[in-house]
Amino acid sequence: MADLAAETTALKQTIWGIETELAYQASFGGKGEDDARIHALADRLRQAHADLQMLERRVAKPDTLAG
């Protein structure tokens, strides 16, 4: 359980970092190279969100254990 919590926290930090970098890159928008970086970051962000959702589903919630 602690491993899943640590992994969840790490993914949340990764998402925050990607969102920050994405906002930074978007501020330069308009150049082909920048657009490619933005698309790559958006893909990484989508994957990190999907991984986080999968992990959060695996983490047992106290209410479900009691029922």
Q: Which single residue is written with the structure tokens 């501020």?
A: 27
Single-letter amino acid code for the residue at 18: I
* b/e code 33-55 from CB counts within 10 Å (16+ = b): eeeebbeebeebbeebeeebeeb
Residue 65's pLDDT is 52
> pLDDT at position 62, please?
58
Question: According to the model, what pLDDT value does residue 14 have?
Answer: 92
Q: What is the pLDDT of residues 9-64, one digit of tens each?
A: 899 999 999 899 888 887 876 667 777 888 888 899 999 999 988 888 887 665 55
Supply the pTM of this predicted model.
Answer: 0.69
* Two tokens, residue 62: 């106290």
* Res 57: pLDDT: 86
